[in-house]
Amino acid sequence: MLKKFASALFLICLIFPLSALAWDDVGHKTTAYIAWQQLTPQARERVSKILQNAPEDSDLGVFFMGDARPVAVRQMEHFMIASTWADIVRDRDFKVRYGKYHKGNWHYADTFWRVENGQVTILPNPNEDGGKAVEKLFEFDKVLRNNSASDAEKAIALAWIVHLIADLHEPLHTSARVTDLEPKGDQGGNLFSLTPKDTPRDKQENLHWYWDSIIVRNIPRGETCDTDFIPKIAGAMTKKYPAAKMQSRLNLGKFDEWQKESFRLATTEVFSPDLKRYEMPSANYKKKAFQVSQEQLALAGYRMGALLNQIFGQ
């Protein structure tokens, strides 16, 4: 029995890698873990069944482990890794999966803006792709509520919706800041360098990645695998931002309003007056960014859980 359990843990650590990608990995799994704690037993069973019936070529169903641990544990872990599936399919080595399921412009919904006379001015989309996250969330919500849709269709919609809800709560997934240096927008802070101009390419850091990796910048994980790491940080976030105090902010299904909330944070908290190009942010900025991110991740988890309960809880 112990041997089987050790083997299961080894496999889990392979699936939940030690090298974290924060909002692309740790952040998504943290939000999914928080959401899972909110789900009713009925919703958990329905969600799990749907994910296990995903199309074979999506490789989404293979992450449900067939070991001797309790089914409930394996269902939760499957849901957590499903929240990262939209990033997993970015891997070009799996050509069929990549060609069919990878959708780069679905991960964000940018508002173009610039600062004029000290004020935020929202700009029309300058013929640049602003992303389809909000549009797709509305679309996938309809699929999940459609009694005629197959579980295979719903599995892809579910994997996308749990991923995009988290993405939409990362402020830089909603912002395209226009400046003289970035007349077509800064691509969610990807063009805003935090390292000196002469920094070698492999050592450069940009603002987008700074926020994506904010959890592991503040909480060193060492060699701890996700099954130990995620519940602890999620527990700390939900204790600091309890569900009871977030209920009035859920606004279920109002994905466009969620985008606007996140965008406001981009213009105030991300691009705060003390942020400087070609310089790493101060300790105070780092602390504030972590605080904002924790609240956003917790809120995303509560919204995700409540939404899935609304759809599958009965």
| Percentage of the chain lying above the pLDDT 90 cut | 82
Q: Which residue has the higher pLDDT, 4 or 312?
A: 312
Task: Please say if the pLDDT value at position 8 is more than 60.
Answer: no
Read off the pLDDT band of 45 (50, 70, 90).
very high
Q: What is the pLDDT of residue 127?
A: 64
Average pLDDT, the chain: 90
Which residues, other chains included, contact 33 with Cβ-Cβ below 8 Å and sequence gap of 6+?
A: 76, 80, 230, 231, 234, 301
Is 226:37 a contact under the CB 8 Å cutoff? Answer: no
Is 108:186 a contact under the CB 8 Å cutoff? Answer: no
Q: What's the CATH number for 24-312?
A: 1.10.575.10
**In the chain, what is the greatest distance between 2 CA atoms, to the nearest angstrom?**
68
Residue ranges per domain, the chain? 24-312
Read off the pLDDT band of 25 (50, 70, 90).
confident
For 160, the token pair is 């996308």
Task: Please say if the pLDDT value at position 126 is more than 90.
Answer: no
**Contacts for 183-187 with beta carbons within 8 Å, 24 or more apart?**
183/126, 184/126, 184/128, 185/110, 185/112, 185/126, 185/128
Task: Please say if the pLDDT value at position 24 is more than 60.
Answer: no
Read off the pLDDT band of 9 (50, 70, 90).
very low
Helix ranges (DSSP H) in 17-132? 26-38, 41-52, 71-82, 85-88, 95-101
pLDDT in tens, 157-166: 999 999 999 9
pLDDT in tens, 175-211: 999 999 999 999 999 999 999 999 998 899 999 999 9
Q: What is the pLDDT of residue 42?
A: 97
* pTM of the predicted model as reported, rounded to 2 decimal places: 0.91
Q: What is the pLDDT of residue 129?
A: 74
Task: Please say if the pLDDT value at position 235 is more than 80.
Answer: yes
Q: What is the pLDDT of residue 307?
A: 98
Read off the pLDDT band of 39 (50, 70, 90).
very high
How many C-beta neighbours within 10 Å does residue 14 have?
A: 10
